[in-house]
Amino acid sequence: MNTVTTEDRTARPLIACHECDLMQRESDVPPGGTLRCCRCRAVLYRRRARGFDRALAYALAACVLWLISNAFPIVGLAVNGDLVETTLFGAVRVLYRDGMWPLAALIFVTTILMPAIQATGMVWLLLPLHLKRRPWRADAVFRLLRVARNWGMTEVLMLGLLVAVVKLAHIASVVTGPALWSLAALMLLLVAAASAYDERAMWQRIEGAPPGVPSDTPLAGRTAAQSGICVCHDCGLSTRGVLHGTHLCCPRCGAHLHLRKPASLSRTWAYLIAAAILYIPANMLPVMNTSSLFGAQKDTIMSGVAYLWHSGSWPLAIIVFIASIAVPMLKILAIGYLAATANLRMTVRSAQRARIYRIVELVGRWSMLDIYVIAVLVALVQFSAMATIEAGPAAIAFGAVVVLTMFAAMSFDPRLIWDFSPPRNGSR
């Protein structure tokens, strides 16, 4: 049996947790294993087994499927011999034509642009590595991939398409297009590529061993900030940084370094208050306006939930209620709780608040569900003599609530939860 001596232990690299800032030494991680922080249980590192080749294969396939998903119709609606079909670009174009350009831009970015960046960005990095070459401007591509992972919402789009198909089935015959199936495959491939993609190992292959924190840095219960060490938000390196002009920069990727996110709480409160104000018109005003031979009808988010429930699609009604009404409200309350406790410098229940922060980050994107449903319905129900659907003012307000709450979660620095917690006695 292998043993680890004190000398071996102290020779291991030092890292700082990106959520609680605790300094600790790395441990050996087997292929497929996960290294977690010994204080807040955040994931520090996942080691992928032979991930480069698999991630490249998935990313190349995702690029092909992205082209198919945007070149062919997603779904069509057949009424009295007429067939109306739409693509993702078509849905964006209809919303822009109707004056809903903020909504059109949001859908374009989250369903077309960001998945494209995810797939091509991984190919950009992985293909040169496969050919034993260094990727050009790897630092910029890594940053783009981080943004794309936060804002690419293919999985939410697929659920939105399912809800839209259920609603459309009560109007006319629904014809599924080839893009619907390619989108489903694209979603799975992007998830598989992200699971096989090992950012830490890629940085080490591109830049070699990172400049480590001195091994004599005191660890006992200390945070990185107390030791004058920053955690780079772009590449994850724990470093003292190098001075470029007036800015402290990461020696590996060149990003600006800060001990804490600048103006974290003030920016979080600003986004949160704006989201709370817009949440009211998002639920009170009509989200869709329907005109037909039988008159005009204005639907709110809640009336859409009621329609799904009474039509027998109660599982989808529950999903839409949770994603479009409960999640935004609970997210506003949760982020407000985290920001208020950070302002008050509370030291109790830090682990519980850290879990709340992770949940908020995980579920925030699912609030986009109703926006995608509206986009598909608006694009398809365009039978001018019989029925048309237009997006209502609440759609823009609701989209703004989703974006603002995501910005609020991104602005909040989770290390503020732990800054005033009692020190630990030792660290691994």
Give the total number of structural domains in the chain: 2
Q: How far is CA 336 from CA 21, 264, 351, 387, in A?
A: 22, 13, 17, 42
pTM: 0.86
pLDDT band at 185 (very low <50, low <70, confident <90, very high): very high
The verdict on 266 and 390 lying in the same domain is: yes
Same domain membership, residue 175 and residue 285: no
Same domain membership, residue 286 and residue 181: no
Considering the domain architecture, whether residues 97 and 194 belong to the same structural domain is answered as yes
Same domain, residue pair 265 and 207? no
Q: What is the pLDDT of residue 177?
A: 86
pLDDT digits (tens, 9 = 90+) for 108-124: 999 999 999 999 999 99
What average pLDDT is seen over the chain?
83
Exposure b/e, 328-338, CB count within 10 A at least 16 = b: beebbebbbeb
Listed range (132-141, 285-294, 354-363, 368-377) with the worst mean pLDDT: 285-294
Instruction: Give the Cα separation of 407 and 47 in Å (integer).
Output: 29
Q: How much is the average pLDDT of 330-336?
A: 94
> Using CA atoms, how far apart are residues 103 and 387, in angstroms rounded to an integer?
22
Tokens 């979603």 -> residue: 187
Q: Which region among 107-121, 379-393, 410-424 has the lowest average model confidence (pLDDT)? A: 379-393
Whether residue 399 is contained in a domain is answered as yes
Of 194, 212, 230, which residue is a domain's last?
212
Q: Are residues 281 and 392 in the same domain?
A: yes
Residue whose pair of structure tokens reads 């630990």 in the numeric block: 424
Q: Are the CB atoms for 210 and 237 separated by under 8 Å?
A: yes
Looking at the structure, tell me whether residues 377 and 304 fall in a common domain. yes
**In this structure, are residues 267 and 411 in contact, taking their beta carbons and an 8 Å threshold?**
yes
pLDDT tens-digit series, residues 172-184: 788 888 999 999 9
Q: Of residues 282 and 301, which shows the higher confidence score?
A: 282
How confident is residue 2, by pLDDT bands cut at 50, 70 and 90?
very low
The whole-number pLDDT of residue 181 equals 92
Query: Does 11 score more than 80 pLDDT?
Result: no
Among 176, 147, 188, CA closest to 62: 188
Q: Which residues, 6 or more positions from 205, have their beta carbon under 8 angstroms from its beta carbon?
A: 129
d(CA 298, CA 74): 26
Compute the distance between CA of residue 76 and CA of residue 71 in angstroms, rounded to an integer: 14
Same domain membership, residue 265 and residue 202? no
Residues of the chain with pLDDT > 70, as a percent, come to: 88
Alpha carbon 37 to chain centroid, angstroms: 22
Confidence at residue 109, expressed as pLDDT on a 0 to 100 scale? 94
pLDDT at 7: 42
Is the pLDDT confidence value at 333 over 70? Answer: yes
Which domain covers residue 373, as residue numbers? 261-422
pLDDT greater than 80 at residue 48: no
Residue 62's identity, in one-letter code, is A
Distance, in Å, from the CA atom of 70 to the CA atom of 179, rounded to the nearest integer, reads: 7
Query: How far is the C-alpha of 200 from the C-alpha of 123, rounded, in Å?
Result: 16
Q: Which pLDDT does position 401 carry in this prediction? A: 94
Q: How far apart are CA 17 and CA 37, in angstroms?
A: 6
- Looking at the structure, tell me whether residues 271 and 384 fall in a common domain: yes
For the chain, what's the residue count? Answer: 428
Q: Mean pLDDT lowest for which of 60-64, 281-285, 298-302, 352-356?
A: 298-302
Please report the pLDDT score of residue 33 as a whole number: 80
Three-state SS at 4: coil
300 shares its domain with 173: no
Instruction: Kindly tell me if the per-residue pLDDT of 237 is higher than 90.
Output: no
CA distance 193 to 119: 8
CATH code of the domain in which 416 resides: 1.20.140
166 and 58 fall within a common domain: yes
CA-to-CA separations, 384 to 180, 276, 291, 293, 380, in angstroms, rounded: 25, 37, 9, 10, 11
E-strand ranges in 37-170 read: 43-46, 75-79, 82-86
Instruction: Average the pLDDT over 298-324 and give the result.
Output: 81
Give the mean pLDDT of 204-233: 70
| Token couple for 122 | 């991984």
